Amino acid sequence: MASLQDIQRRIASTKKTRQITSAMQMVSTAKLSQIQRFGSGYSAYAARLESIVEHLVSAHLFDNADAAHIPLINQRPIKKTGILVVTSDRGLVGSYNANIIKQTNALMERLGLTQDNTAILAIGGNGADFYKKLGFDIVLEHRGVSDVPSYNEIRDVVNTVTSLYDSEVFDALHVVYNHFVNRLTSEFRDVQLLPLTADTLHAMGGTNEDKAELDVQSVYDIEPDATAVLNVVLPQFAQSLVYEAVLDAKTAEHAASSTAMKAATDNAKDLIGRLELQFNRARQAEITTEITEITGGMAALG
């Protein structure tokens, strides 16, 4: 049985842990509120950009364009598939990273992807380290995404993603990440980003309410031609979707961290209660033993 000193040390240690996890929960909650405020502004921009592209589709601009000269919509034979995995750099986020990796592996199994026909683009250290150990080809690795990432911060990353596709390093691109639903819930999301299709428009971007606010007519006068216009608009749209995925994933990460730290704080509180009960019982038993010994000694002397 543990001594009273051992129990006291465990109580003191657990109280310190509770203080740390409680502070970390507060920090994560503050970061979550901050990125939600920032993300709401960007979502409005993304919704308007998506609405413009949707209207270009409805105006049959794609039909009049030369798809062979628009890399982002050109359907070419898929020899290699790119998987853009967005994870966190650190732990202490509950099952956040494990869920992404598990679901990504399931996706690759469904698509019949192996090390030979898959290129991994990793944003976040957990995903990069995991797939490096498995021997996958890591064509892009980016670590150290800030708590509230700005577009300028990851501009080079999103530009690299589209340039790798243009260079035919991979012929299709899936973006996989945890989508923020609310403070307690996130859900795995897989979107085939490239080549751009009508399904991509419906899978990502702003809400229908956001898009309804922008009334764009479905008739356009094109100058110089549809191909030139789409080669300007579509790369911006694809880059916007990549950045939006990173922003969404970072929001889910902060929520997961806040939830995990709250659970750790609650567990520490419960453990302290059990240890204090154990300490009181042990102390009571010790006092009872001392009283019994004194009483027995007095009886022997009498």
| CATH of residue 32 | 3.40.1380.10
233 assigned to some structural domain: yes
Q: How many domains does the chain have?
A: 1
Confidence of residue 62 (pLDDT cuts 50, 70, 90): low
266 assigned to some structural domain: no
Closest CA to 94 of 168, 25, 143: 25
In the chain, how many H helices and how many E strands? 8, 5
267 assigned to some structural domain: no
pLDDT at residue 269, rounded to an integer: 93
Record the pTM: 0.81
Taking 90 as the threshold, does the pLDDT of residue 191 lie above it?
no
Residue 153 is given by DSSP the state T
Taking 80 as the threshold, does the pLDDT of residue 116 lie above it?
yes
Q: Could you tell me if 241 and 200 are in contact, meaning their C-beta atoms sit under 8 angstroms apart?
A: yes
280 assigned to some structural domain: no
291-300 pLDDT, tens digit each: 887 777 777 7
Residues 168 and 179: their CA atoms lie apart, in Å, by 28
Range of the domain at 49: 27-259
pLDDT at residue 213, rounded to an integer: 46
